[in-house]
Structure 1
Amino acid sequence: MDKKSIAALKQLFESEGISEECITHLKMDDRKGVQQLIKSYETKKHKAEIAEKNFMEMSVFESRAYANGHEYVAGIDEAGRGPLAGPVVAAAVILPRDFKLLGLNDSKQLSEQVRNHFFNVIKEQAISYGVSIISSQKIDEVNIFEATKLAMHDAISQLSPNPNHILIDAVNLNGLPCTSEAITKGDAKSISIAAASVLAKVSRDQIMKKIHNEYPVYGFESNMGYGTKYHLNNLMARGATPYHRQSFSPVRNTTHP
């Protein structure tokens, strides 16, 4: 094998146009730059293998449902049960059997940039998805748990075709049109629930950024309505907005600005 320049080898590694046999040969090359390229390549390969393994482990619930004869398996999750302001959002999604998105996980474990990218990929590749938004006023009327279930039912109703089996993150839903499983920490155990968590989280974040433009002093763009110190200080000093949940402490005893 001719001794290629570091730049040429870097290009080969980046284009994945290099064989394992060539890498074995390059390990005898005493140039520091070559060894750094090999180390970087092997680290990237190891991470890809871990991502592949994790994705397979998160496909177990879906694979079992397919094996039981369920053609359309839906995942469902919510975002926004804990904040002091803004809606609760639920998403439901049916992914194709051959769906593959390495790195997909609970949306809270992903960076905003990755979440936004996955959000677009999931919407493009999903067989069907639905997103439901329940306002803070409705949350105050029925309580947050009931509002979450309303959002989940509504998101499911938007799916077409109808699901044959539903995987739900930690909530038992009654009155579903098919069989279901409630999975504790399901957004880290099921690719369908993880995909739903990304749709719900990004959809809600987009709403909170719009609310931030209307009421920038509360920092909704960064805290997404959660009770950060900055948010609480401004809530106490300026009172609640129409988007705050009046039934939540410490919002209850404040006034509208």
Structure 2
Amino acid sequence: MLLLFNRIRALFPSAQPATRPLWSEIFSRDQDTFIVPADSGLGILQNLSKQPATLADYVSGKYLSEVNIKGIDLANVEDLRTQKYSSIADIDIITKLSRLPEVVPDRFVVRFARDLRMDDLRDGNAILLGAIHTDPWIYLLQKQLNFQFVCESNVNHCSILNSHPAKGERSVYENESQQLSHQTFGVVAFIPNLNRTGRILLIEGLNMAATQAAADTILDEASMRPIIQRATLPNGTVGPFEILIETTSLDAAPLPSRIIATRFSH
């Protein structure tokens, strides 16, 4: 009986999780994978000062040292400048990512956006969480993307630019309102690193709920199976792709979401 069972199992192997090829490329034994949570303190500083941070000023530390905020207690401003704040949504996402079977523990490196370096995105694998307003490193990567984040100085005034709208798509996606319950959007993008020697995964949202919805989508087998099948190249690797996700934010928590647009490199 056992011999018969083994023969049947060999003929009908269990289905491989849809996202396994993607995670196997992101998590490698030969390269570090940098998990980068959003710099929430940076977002608050920009909100208060109305002064947007460029990538150059952020990397050099100039923005954090020179940003001017009037009418706010200096001790609180100094706290935002020097402490490493992120959202509970990002911490939850990092926890879920750390439990994936493809993770190589010695190569799983959580690195705050302020501590990231250019070489990490040139030669390493990375997963960036949040949006361009709280992680200016995304400026380096947006030229590869169709769905690009655009933010004003106020963190609540961000939108997603659809560079080449397909039929039935909008050219811009933005938060429906600032009420407790409103429509919002997130993006998942899987692209090469800057030297094309590794992979970068962007999990972005217009707000915390949208980022959570984007993470829920990339971690959901049913949602990702057709995406991974479409993105898989003839050599078996996963090619670049983008997903635009719509959800409803209810008091900063996402309700069930759906994929409303996709882009593939082939």
TM over 0.5, shorter chain: no
The higher radius of gyration belongs to 1
TM-score normalised over the length of structure 1: 0.25
Which of the pair is proportionally richer in strand? 2
TM-score normalised over the length of structure 2: 0.24
Indicate the structure whose relative CO is greater, using CA pairs within 8 Å and at least 6 residues apart: 1
